[in-house]
Structure 1
Amino acid sequence: MTLDFSILGTVWPALLRGTLVTVELTAAVLAVATPGGILVALLRGAPSRTLRTILATLSWICRGVPPLLLLFFVFFGLPVIGIKLPPLPSAVIAMSLYMSFYFGEVFRAGLNSVPAGQWKAAEALGLSPARTLIRIILPQTIPAALPPYISHATEILKGTALAAAVSVPELTSAAKQVFVVTFRPFEILIAAAAIYAILDSLLLVLQIYGERWAARRSAAR
């Protein structure tokens, strides 16, 4: 079989549309799961033992269930109780729920890396808990939390391919539709893999710059 990558010039618009949907889905999940993860991390440290137990149980369940199963539950299961969502919002909700608990563990580890004395010092200065968290504690969690956060972000990017199971027209779905029509699966799949690699590399570049920024910020303190 002779490879013919010239076919990419014809199918590029379809792959580009799929790439844009992949980027949009990744950004939406990060936008929802990041604050969700911070909330989970903070509540895991709440005084209420009952609340901590409930969150620990939910974390164990959501991180233990395959994300595809969560996606099927949201898209196919919720309509049984009268909640019917389009494919893209279903994918955002399912993936955000899944990743919020992973990010919760990341941010909890970052928060635990900050000495407890920081809270007491801020309290002695008369700072409110919210101001202490935003201005003092969270900035110090960035160096510890950033590498695993970016690692999970790359998993979100690659995990968007699961959304093809509910007809979200992301990159993997677009590639499949194209090679079914063109009968050139090898070239199309290589192109799709290259696009995923480029997007993944961009996230890794963000990690490098983020780590440098965090290091400069820590040095300035």
Structure 2
Amino acid sequence: MTTPDLFGDLDPGRRTRLGPDAWVLRGFALPRMDALLPALAGIEAISPFRHMKTPGGFVMSAALSNCGALGWTSDRRGYRYSPIDPESGLPWPPIPEAFARLAREAAAAAGFEDFAPDACLINRYLPGARMSLHQDRNERDFGAPIVSVSLGMSAVFLFGGPARSDKAVRVPLHHGDVAVWGGTDRLRYHGILPLGERPHPLLGARRINLTFRKAG
């Protein structure tokens, strides 16, 4: 595996290769911000961010919401996808066209044509929030890639191997970066180190992560 360039990788249009089928597309989402941010606000107004509990009873440090036909949820009964927001009892908001277009184009740029996500998990990280190493394996079909969009504060992405014990590389992700992984890299363990204290000039002291998946 090629070791990623961890620093000085801020130029839009550059790519960081994380594995045979895994890339970070630097600044890929930047030209789309005028459409993405209002769409995000619209989702939050319908399905506000909330801190869910893990099956073990721990409160997740990142708050979350969803949009799409299916939304990822967690509680004492386990991790799963549901068509219904458990707080409102209503369907999750649909994926905005600006979101869907970005996901399709980023997937295609990374070599995955015809990606049609039906779920978008939206995580909100405040300073100190983190995401432990995990696999995205609640989806029915692992043939589709994961498309992960970073907005706001920079974070350090951990990208490991097929086993939790495998060494993970540390990859800075910045506002507008899009990570895509699938194929042989689809079940890699990944996570986010605790978020730092440097507010973003546009989004302030928060990081928003849009994670597009084919769940159903």
TM-score, normalized by the shorter chain, greater than 0.5: no
**Larger strand share, 1 or 2:** 2
Q: Larger C-alpha radius of gyration, 1 or 2? A: 1
TM-score under structure 2 length normalisation: 0.24
TM-score under structure 1 length normalisation: 0.23
* Structure possessing the higher relative contact order (Cα contacts under 8 Å, 6 or more residues apart): 1
